[in-house]
């Protein structure tokens, strides 16, 4: 049953990530850093923080045993955010020796995700 819950949430999260990524690409000018996945990852971090805030009021220790976390925390937000695509885009910038955009992308994605998650967790 738990695997099914994760799969349902993951399917919805993956579709949401795709649709938001396409929308950002279609509605923004081409930038030196990958704005579509940056937007997805920051929004996903913020959403996960909000989820923890409203569902638990904190980061719970034993969330793996709870259905809401399986559906939303692991499933939806796990599939919505994308460390693998971030890695591909970062390595591509590195291979092209675009060092400014590379370090900017790393800082904004990693630092921004931590900041946005924290904001979502404490904002209300």
> What φ, ψ does residue 43 adopt, rounded to 5°?
-65, -40
The answer to whether 81 is a known ligand-binding residue is yes
Q: Which residues are annotated as a binding site for Na(+)?
A: 78, 81
Q: Which residues are annotated as a binding site?
A: 78, 81
């Amino acid at each position: 049953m738990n695997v099914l819950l994760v799969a349902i949430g993951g399917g919805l999260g993956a579709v949401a990530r795709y649709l938001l990524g396409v929308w950002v690409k279609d509605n923004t000018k081409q930038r030196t850093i990958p704005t579509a996945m940056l937007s997805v990852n920051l929004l996903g971090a913020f959403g996960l923080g909000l989820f923890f805030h409203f569902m638990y009021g904190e980061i719970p220790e034993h969330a793996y045993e709870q259905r809401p976390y399986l559906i939303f925390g692991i499933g939806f937000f796990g599939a919505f955010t994308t460390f693998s695509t971030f890695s591909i885009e970062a390595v591509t910038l590195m291979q092209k020796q675009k060092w400014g955009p590379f370090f900017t992308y790393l800082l904004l994605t990693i630092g921004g995700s931590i900041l946005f998650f924290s904001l979502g967790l404490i904002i209300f």
